[in-house]
Amino acid sequence: MKTAIFATKGYDKESFEKINANFGHELTFYEPKLEPDTAVLAHGYEAVCVFVNDQIDRATITQLAAGGTRIIATRSAGYNQIDLQAAEELGLAVVRVPAYSPNAVSEFTVGLILTLGRQIHRAYNRVRDNNFELDGLQGFELYNKTIGVFGTGRIGVSVLRNLSGFGARLLAYDIYRNPEAEALAEYIDDPVEMACQCDIMTLHLPLTPETHHIINADSIPLLKDGVFIVNTSRGALLDTIAVIEGLKSGKIGYLAIDVYEVESDLFFQDLSNEVITDDAFARLLTFPNVIVTGHQAFLTNRALQ
């Protein structure tokens, strides 16, 4: 099958070519994201392969259909970047990777909790400057903490499994109960009720109209003082402005995010010589109790395979 692969990096090309040796598809790699202005590159291709920050809206899909594309494959579990109604109307099939790197994301999630909770990132930077002072590096243990996992799909269950050895009280919320999660955690049917009990909240929900800005100016005051929020799922689960206010007031004590609600203008590119014009994102980077990573939780050798 003739396939155009968009938003590709070196690791994408390497992994696709290795796997494709067994199948013989005709692959063309493009660095730009798929969006209305680049959709013309896919003309004549039966399929396109896209990523999380591509813009597969009606305008893009209309161009794809006109060029003969019949399949949109997203190399992600989420698909909120794709206008499914437009795809259906124009006769394009949409496929995804529902079990995309659950262990990779869950291990990264736990790594963020441990790194920020024990100040490992700050200690690393100090030691590189020959500063071995311990003041300011006091952390906390997960033992006896209440940790809430919001979303108990494959990733959420993997997070629960990885956290089960720390001696923490584990809570879980999802509109659909998962038997695997029930064996690891106590389900709470009301997400607000669960959030109020959590010392640590980790989000593994899909982005839907119901979950958009689920952490917002109304919900943050209900949380425990000094709550630790982790988001390795979808950036728009958090209202960034409300979160910044929560950090400033101390209501949010720790924040670790691998996703950001308008990350498409930032992530997956080198901006080290550029001025960041997103004031909210720049403000997040000023807090000593915040870790931001560039949507890398999925990125392991096994996940790419």
Please measure the distance between the N-terminal and C-terminal CA atoms of the chain and give it in whole angstroms: 19
H or E segment at 299? none
Diameter of the chain by CA atoms? 63
121 in catalytic set: no
295 in catalytic set: yes
261 in catalytic set: no
The answer to whether 158 touches 109, Cβ cutoff 8 Å, is no
Please state the separation of Cα 54 from the chain's center in Å.
Answer: 15
Tokens standing for residue 6: 């968009």
Catalytic residue among 26, 263, 274, 283: 263
Q: Which residue has the tokens 């982790």?
A: 230
Catalytic residue among 75, 204, 234, 261: 234
The answer to whether 267 touches 53, Cβ cutoff 8 Å, is yes
Task: Report how far residue 158's alpha carbon sits from residue 202's, in angstroms, rounded to the nearest whole number.
Answer: 12
Per the document, the length of the chain is 305
- Please name which of 53, 49, 54, 12 lies closest in space to residue 37, comparing C-alpha atoms: 54
User: Which residues sit opposite 94 in a β-bridge?
Assistant: 72
Tokens standing for residue 87: 């795809």
Q: What are phi and psi of 178, to 5 degrees?
A: -110, 120
Residues belonging to the active site:
234, 263, 295
